[in-house]
Amino acid sequence: MILPGTISVPMKAAPVAPPFVACKWSQTDKDPSVSVLSTVKPDDTFSGGNNAGVRGTKSVIPGQKVYYECKRINAGFRFAIGFCNTNYGFIGIPGEDNFPSSSWNISQDGTFHANANGGLFIYGGLADNYNVDLAFNVAARLIWVRVNNSAIWNEGSSNASIDDVTNGVKGQTIDVNGTFMQSGPYFPVGYSWTSDGGIANFGTGLTTGFARPIPPGFTAV
């Protein structure tokens, strides 16, 4: 009931969060030799690159802590996944060839490369159908890699620990050997040579839809 002399003020509706839109591998932001296909989800698979790469459709904003998963498939000659900025030009391995300070990767031999440097041991190698989980703290400029359903991040390196990503310590810096990784925005990046490829899982929500536990405080790209 409205009392005499009072004014009725309509209630404002609470803001509604925009719907989650999952990242994909881009159909256009890639080298022409890379095929982008739909295996489990739309545009979740890259393969067949001729020493070439593809960027994801969503970038990481400053301050984000992001996570995604990828399974190596059709193991051939070379494979790598990681993150890059827009200076990576698709030909050559991100983090290793041609584009220093533009990208980093975990490659098929289990090593971490960034800024055309690195070769730091992370794991003993990525065999066919191995799962690779990437956690990237953009503000801290640190990454953690978990391979083949292991509970240990950066296994095989001096940073190996079960809970280091949760505590935000002992990650691998993207500024390798004194080289500074250029600023973002950063995008997921996939690379293949010959038959190699990967099926990515970018989640179905900010923290849902992943095959393995997402680290606390991290979200989908």
Domains delineated in the chain: 25-220 (2.60.120.920)
Q: How many helices (H) and strands (E) does the chain have?
A: 1, 15
- What is the reported pLDDT for 108? 82
Cα 35 from Cα 47, distance rounded (Å): 5
The average pLDDT across 4-19 equals 67
| pLDDT value, residue 107 | 83
User: Is the full-model pTM beyond 0.95?
Assistant: no
Task: Say which residues have a Cβ less than 8 Å from residue 144's Cβ, sequence separation at least 6.
Answer: 134, 135, 153, 154, 159, 164, 165, 171, 172, 215
pLDDT in tens, 14-71: 676 788 999 999 999 999 999 999 999 999 999 999 999 999 999 998 889 999 999 9
Interval 97-151: pLDDT, tens:
655 566 777 888 777 777 766 556 666 678 889 999 999 998 888 888 888 888 8
More reliable by pLDDT, 152 or 196: 196
Tokens of 130: 């191995």
pLDDT for 7 beyond 80: no
Digit-coded pLDDT (tens) for 164-192: 788 777 888 887 666 667 778 899 999 99
Show the tokens assigned to 44.
């979740």
